[in-house]
Amino acid sequence: MKKNKNKPNFLIVGAPKSGTTSLYQYLQQHKDIFMPQNKEPRFFCNYPTHLFEFGTKQYHPDIITNEDDYLALFEEAKHDSICGEASSDYLACDGAANRIYQWNKDMKIVILLRNPIERAYSEYQHSIAAKFQDLSFYESLRMEKERAIKLYDPIYSHVKRGHYWESVSLYLELFGTDNVKIILFEEFVNSTLRVVESVLTFLNLEPMKLDVTQHFNASTLNKEAMYSLTKQQLQTLQHVFKNDIEQLEKLIGKNLKHWC
């Protein structure tokens, strides 16, 4: 891989609550990888932060919108390091893929994907634990479109961020299959070391002994609570994702029947 000083060479673009923080932590251990302490600068989202109300509608004031500030994140990288970051908003963020492509057409893209209903509920649990909201899961789902119009934090984009097919298609179209690595969350959880080693191979790096025993930013899914949705509500949610899952399955060539 060609190494660009002070510029990222690879990005972990999402999806949120799919293992991105753990992968970020594991890759940081490699001697030839540099990733900044600001895991998610969200630079390529081009968010209108001047309109944001941090603390009430948005919760991540470390968003970076200035190019010089973004490049400064990588100033401490060794001259022969591969640089990367892990803004999980990039997968679903409108325009992010194209901005990344304009920045570096050879960017390596890593995408982690999770059962969209489980991902949505994990994200909801995060919002509750962080005291961002106190609505039920169903009410939070119902409020999604209204919140989006009012520029609420994308942590409330439970459905949008679980519709993967269009975003994954675009990344594959722009960067090509050789520069996009797709990992299923269950593969990552069940065979963590093997998956991390495959990412190192994808980045053209030598294998190195890494500690992958600790899980980061993990939430314990209370499935009993999740399925306390009425049968009709759950069926509606499954229907919302069904077509997208089927299209994604064909696109990436992986069996996703267990997601439906």
**135-174 residue pLDDT tens:** 999 999 999 999 999 999 999 999 999 999 999 999 999 9
Q: Identify whether the C-beta of residue 5 lies closer than 8 Å to the C-beta of residue 105.
A: no
pLDDT, residue 217, reads 66
Residue 227 has pLDDT above 80, yes or no: no
Residue 3 lies in a domain: no
What burial letters (b/e) apply to 64-89, b meaning 16+ CB within 10 Å? beeeeebbebbeebeeebbbbbbbbb
Q: What is the CATH number of the domain that holds 187?
A: 3.40.50.300
Query: Average of pLDDT values for 185-209?
Result: 96
pLDDT interval class at 219 (50, 70, 90) = low
pLDDT interval class at 224 (50, 70, 90) = low
Q: Which domain holds residue 243?
A: 10-259
Residue 206 lies in a domain: yes
H or E element that contains 186: helix 185-190
pLDDT interval class at 221 (50, 70, 90) = low
> How crowded is residue 135: how many other Cβ atoms within 10 Å of its Cβ?
15
Q: Report pLDDT digits (tens) over 83-128.
A: 999 999 999 999 999 999 999 999 999 999 999 999 999 999 899 9
What angle, rounded to 10 degrees, do the helices at 165-175 and 96-103 form? Answer: 10
pLDDT, residue 10, reads 98
Say how many CA atoms lie within 13 Å of 204 toward its Cβ: 12
Residue 156 lies in a domain: yes
Q: Phi then psi for 100, rounded to 5 degrees? A: -65, -45
Residue 3 has pLDDT above 70, yes or no: no
Q: Compute the distance between CA of residue 88 and CA of residue 12 in angstroms, rounded to an integer.
A: 7
Q: Report pLDDT digits (tens) over 9-48.
A: 999 999 999 999 999 999 999 999 999 999 999 999 999 9
pLDDT interval class at 5 (50, 70, 90) = low
pLDDT, residue 225, reads 55
Q: Identify whether the C-beta of residue 107 lies closer than 8 Å to the C-beta of residue 11.
A: yes
Q: Work out the mean pLDDT of the chain and round it to a whole number.
A: 92
| Total domains, the chain | 1
Which residues, in sequence order, are bridge partners of residue 184?
Answer: 113
pLDDT, residue 127, reads 92
pLDDT, residue 56, reads 87
pLDDT interval class at 55 (50, 70, 90) = confident
pLDDT, residue 242, reads 97
Q: Which of 151, 145, 138, 126 is nearest to 57 (CA)?
A: 151
Angle at 185 between CA 213 and CA 211, to 5 degrees: 15
pLDDT, residue 60, reads 86
Q: Which two tokens stand for residue 185?
A: 């969350």
Residue 102 lies in a domain: yes
Residue 2 lies in a domain: no
| Higher per-residue confidence, 79 vs 221 | 79
Query: Average of pLDDT values for 67-75?
Result: 96
Residue 45, SS3? helix
Query: What's the burial of 188, exposed, middle or buried (CB within 10 Å: 0-12/13-18/19+)?
Result: buried
Residue 239 lies in a domain: yes
Residue 134 lies in a domain: yes
Residue 2 has pLDDT above 60, yes or no: no
Residue 77 lies in a domain: yes
| Higher per-residue confidence, 227 vs 212 | 212
Q: Compute the distance between CA of residue 107 and CA of residue 86 in angstroms, rounded to an integer.
A: 13
| Higher per-residue confidence, 210 vs 215 | 210
